[in-house]
Structure 1
C-alpha cells in the first residue's frame, strides 16, 4: 500500500518509521510519504493561508498551494484524496477495513480555520475522527492511518492479531494475561492455562460478550448473536444466578443481579 500525506508539518509523521509499521516499510510492504504543502506555494514567503472573505477569526488554507500539491502527488499516486475534517463520516473499524483494501490513498491534513471551499473539488471523501476539535489534521491522520494499514495483509505477522481486536467483529476484546500466573494473589483464570483450546475459545468469546454488554451496550445491541453466543450467555447467567442465591444466604448482598 502507498499512502501520501499532504501536510504543513511533515516531521510529525516520523511516527510511522518505528515499531511494526517501520518494519513494514523496510520490507516494502508499505510506503508512507509526508508531503509538505508549503513546497508548492508560489508565495515568496511560502505562505499557504490567508484571511477569510467576509471577515471572521483565524486564517484559511489557500487553494493554490493545496491544489497544486494534490495534483503533484496524483501523478504518482492514483488513490482517493481523503480530507480529515469535521464534515466527514466518523471513522470506525468498518471504515478501516474498507480503506485497507485500497492500494493507494492520499490524506489531506487541514489546519487553521479550515480549507478554501474550492479545494473540495479535488477531494473524494472526508473523514472525521470524532465530534471534537483538534489543532490540525495531523493529529487525526496518525490514528486513522495506523488503524488502516495494520489491516493490510502481511503488515502483522499473524492475521488473528487484528481479527481478535476490539471492534473488528463488533465486540470489545477479551481479557489478556501473561506471566506470572499468580501476581500478588491475583491469578490467571484456570481455563487459560488448561491447554484446552476449545474451552479457551469459548471463554474468550463469552468474555468479549460480557465486557461489551457491560461497557458498550450500544455495540452489544448491534451484534447478531449466534446460537453458541446465546448458549454461552445462558449458561453464564444460570451459574451467576445460583451464585447470587448462595451469596444471599451468606448475607452477601454485593451480587449483581444483571
Structure 2
C-alpha cells in the first residue's frame, strides 16, 4: 500500500490506526523526555507534523502554492492556516528565497542595459503597431509570416479598424474572381488563404462585440437617488 505508516499482520499489509501512532509518539516523547518551557512533556498529535512540514518548507522558500499541492489542499487558505508563521516572517523567507535564486543565475542577467539595448527594446513595441491593430510577437523575435499580417494569428485587430478589414475582404474576393477568370490557379490558392484569415479576424471581432454587449451595466447610483430616500423609522434622540 502507498502509505507511510503500515505494518504486516499474518503476512498482510495493514494500515496503522491513529491511536497506535499516537501511542507510539507519546512513548518516544516520554523516552526522550521532550518537555516545553513549563517542564511538562510535549503533547503531539500525528496531524501536527503536517503543520511542521508546511511551516518549515515555506520558511525555507517553498512557494505556498507548491506547498498546497504537496499537502493536497483544495484551498490555499487552508495551507496558509497550516503555516504557523507571521506574515513578516513569510515575506522575509520569500525574499531570502529570491536572493538565493538570483545568486545562482548569471550576473549578466541583472546588469544595467546599454542605451542601444534599451532603444531596441522600445523600438520593438513601435514596430508592433500595424494598420489593422497590434502584432503580438514577443521581443527579439522576427516576423515569421513575412509581414502577411492578415494571415498571422498574432495580429490583434483594433475594432476601430473593422472598415479597413472589410475593404481588404472585398478586395480579396474581387482578386480571387479575377484570378479565376485569368486561370491563375496559384493566385487563387494564396488569395483564398488570405480571405479565410480575413473572415476569421472579422468573426473574432464579432465574438468580442457579442461578449461586450452581453455584459450587464449595473451603473452607479447618483446622489439625488441616494439623498432622496426617506426612512419611516422613528428618530431616537
- State the TM-score, normalized to the length of structure 2: 0.25
Q: Which has more radius of gyration?
A: 2
Q: Using CA pairs under 8 Å that are at least 6 residues apart, name the structure with larger relative contact order, 1 or 2.
A: 1
- State the TM-score, normalized to the length of structure 1: 0.23
